[in-house]
Structure 1
Amino acid sequence: MKFDVLADMEYTAQSQGTLILCIHALRTPNQTVINETFTVEPYIKAEELVSANGENRLVRLEVTEPGELKLQYRATIDNCYKLIDMSAAEEVPIHKLSPDILPYLNPSRYCQSDKLFRLAHNMFGYIESPFEKVTTLVNWIYNNVQYLSGSTNSETSAYDTVTEQAGVCRDFAHLGIALCRALTIPARYFTGYAYKLVPADFHACFEAYIGGEWILFDATKLAPLNSLIKIATGRDAADAAIANIFGDFIFNSMRVSCELADDNYKPYYYTPRKQEGLSYI
């Protein structure tokens, strides 16, 4: 499927400083960036950086003078997902996990899986199938945590979300990741552009490593899983922040959009069923 995505962001620089943005669509074997443009007004040289393991594409901007700053990203993306029969999927033993998967078993800043160990095992530990465990906990989050804009902040963690039982997509993703890791299922944060998300914004969900595949899950159920455009993955939101700011900057506004490039095709709302998973590569 082809999608047109955009992100407009405006800042006021009060002093010299550096902006590091993560808004470019990721290039993967199954996600092709057909065309893209990134502009800055007034003009500032943009340096593109790719993380060591290729989890995100960063743009670094060195702001030398105070003033208004307008950033604009436009791209046409062709992405592809595959359906996987998970009926016979088994949990991959820890001793067989590759080194690049192991970090996604550990607690992280926003995903304190160690604090949620007892809760996770009391509620979901009895389920034998790892895929069924994750779909069950995703449904539990959806049914028990209220999606409430403005209810959390940049310091809210998965443990806080369990306590408050409210949050936004970022918090739903962190809680899903923490519960998976507490159940010894590797899980990682996923951020991207989302078709039909209301209101339009960057979206967060997560991937769980099951049966040797990264399977996509979204506890908010706000957008079609098969129409997400991947920007970045990481241990949690700290690894995939849309903007890291070094200096005195004021954030003024943001506009995000993800629309079909082909009006003749309408994505269906895919939700993982009992024996079927969706993998994004």
Structure 2
Amino acid sequence: MKFEIASELAYEIHSPTTLLINIHALRSPGQTIIEETFNIEPYIRIEELTSIHYENRFIRLEVEEGTNLNISYKAIVDASHKIIDQRELEAVPVVALDGNVIPFLFPSRYCQSDKLSTLAYKEFGHISNVYEKVLAIVDWIYENVDYVSGSTNSQTSAYDTITERTGVCRDFAHLGIALCRALTIPARYFTGYSYKLNPPDFHACFEAYIGGQWLIFDATRLAPLNGLVKIANGRDAADASIASIFGRYTSNGITVSCRALDDNFVPFTHENAYHKAIAVNAI
């Protein structure tokens, strides 16, 4: 499925500042970038970096003096989505996990799974099928946490969300990850562009490792699961932040869009997930 994605970030820089920008679509076997452009006004020399662990793409730039900085990215991306019969999915025991999957079992900065194990086992421990267990986690979050724009900040963790029962997509993803890990299900953070997300913005959800593959889940139910273009993965948002800025600045706005270029798009929603699983950007 081909998507046209675009984003613009505007900042007022007050002092010498270094920025790490993470808005490029990920290159992977299941996600092909057909064309892309990246512009900065005023012009500043940039350096593209790739994360060693997650293949995330970062742009590093240094602003030496105060200025108004405008960053824009646009791309056409062919993103594949694999539909899987959920009856074929089985849990992978820890002893059989690949080494690159094991880190996604551990607690992390925003996903304190060690603090949520009692709740996780009380609510979901009785469910034997691992895929159905993750679906139950997603349903529980949707039913028990209110989606309220602006209700949290960059310091909010899964433990805070379970206490305050409000959050945005980032918080819903962190809570889903933490509850999965508490039940010995590897889970990782997903950030990307999302088709039909209203209002348009960058979107966060999570992937769980089931049956030897990463499957996508979104407790917000705000967008079709096959309408996602991946930017980055990580243990949590700390590994996949859209912008990490070291210096004094003011954000002057973010604009994001994602448009399907194929006419035959059929949305894969949360309701579909009870019958079929979906792996995003997979072949």
Instruction: Answer whether TM exceeds 0.5 for this pair.
Output: yes
Matching residue of 2:40:
40
Q: Distance in 2 between matches of 1:109 and 1:258?
A: 30
The DSSP-based 3-state class of the residue aligned with 1:267 is: coil
Tell me if the contact between 1:55 and 1:234 (Cα under 8 Å) persists in the aligned partners. no
The DSSP-based 3-state class of the residue aligned with 1:109 is: coil
Tell me if the contact between 2:48 and 2:59 (Cα under 8 Å) persists in the aligned partners. yes
Matching residue of 1:91:
91
Measure how far apart 1:275 and its partner are.
4.2
1:139-218 counterparts in 2 under 5 A?
139-218=139-218
Matching residue of 2:60:
60
Q: Which runs of 5+ in 1 are unaligned?
A: none
1:16-31 counterparts in 2 under 5 A?
16-31=16-31
Matching residue of 1:120:
120
C-alpha RMSD over aligned residues: 1.0
1:6-17 counterparts in 2 under 5 A?
6-17=6-17
The DSSP-based 3-state class of the residue aligned with 2:126 is: coil
Answer yes or no: is 1:219 the counterpart of 2:210: no
Q: How many pairs were matched up?
A: 280
* TM-score between both structures, scaled by the size of structure 1: 0.97
Q: Distance in 2 between matches of 1:55 and 1:188?
A: 14
Matching residue of 2:72:
72
Post-superposition Cα deviations, 1:227-249, rounded to whole Å, max 9, x if no partner, equal: 10000000000000000001111
Q: Distance in 2 between matches of 1:65 and 1:245?
A: 14
The DSSP-based 3-state class of the residue aligned with 1:238 is: helix
- Greater than 4 Å deviation, 4+ residue runs: none
The DSSP-based 3-state class of the residue aligned with 2:100 is: coil
Answer yes or no: is 1:265 the counterpart of 2:225: no
Q: Which letter does structure 2 place at the counterpart of 1:220? A: T
Q: Which runs of 5+ in 2 are unaligned?
A: none
Q: Distance in 2 between matches of 1:25 and 1:13?
A: 25
